[in-house]
């Protein structure tokens, strides 16, 4: 998609490229290895595009959200239900769009920023251990 729209943006010397990654881009999570690796790629790709084209009048941003109440997490009401850390799609979109032009990388929603800041206080092995426990607990619950 970027390859398709970039030439026109360069010609006009304006435009915006917004890529959606995830907070999991920062962690190598068991059971989600392909998802977290893909999101790491999206974050890295966005930084590279910004380095190459950001000075050409094009705004480049990577949004790295945490929980948003969508069909992706509808399988578990505890994480699907909107709340303090789980934004509704409308609230998240409004918040994320407001950051365009102000932040090259953002979680898009203030409570997601709190979550990421808190998680980054811990070593990755601890986060992986907690995530593994959470997944195994949920798998037992589903049986």
Number of domains the chain is built from: 1
Q: Is the pLDDT of residue 79 over 70?
A: no
pLDDT band at 30 (very low <50, low <70, confident <90, very high): confident
The stretch 120-124 carries a mean pLDDT of 89
**Residue of 35, 53, 102, 109 marked active site:** 35
Q: Mark whether 31 is an active-site residue.
A: no
Rounded-to-integer distance, Cα 77 and Cα 79, Å: 5
- Quote the domain boundaries for residue 33: 2-142
At 71, which CATH number?
Answer: 3.40.50.720
Q: Is the pLDDT of residue 77 over 70?
A: no
Confidence (pTM): 0.81
């Amino acid at each position: 998609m970027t390859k398709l729209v970039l030439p026109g943006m360069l010609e006009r010397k304006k435009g915006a490229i917004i890529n959606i990654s995830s907070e999991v881009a920062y962690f190598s999570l068991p059971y989600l290895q392909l998802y977290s690796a893909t999101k790491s790629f999206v974050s890295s790709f966005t930084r590279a595009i910004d380095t190459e084209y950001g000075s050409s009048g094009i705004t480049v941003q990577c949004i790295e959200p945490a929980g948003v109440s969508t069909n992706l997490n509808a399988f578990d009401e505890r994480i699907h239900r909107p709340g303090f850390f789980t934004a509704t799609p409308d609230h998240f979109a409004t918040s994320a769009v407001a950051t365009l032009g102000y932040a090259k990388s953002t979680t898009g929603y203030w409570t997601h920023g709190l979550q990421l800041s808190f998680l980054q206080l811990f070593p990755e092995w601890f986060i992986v251990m907690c995530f593994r426990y959470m997944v195994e607990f949920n798998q037992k619950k589903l049986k």
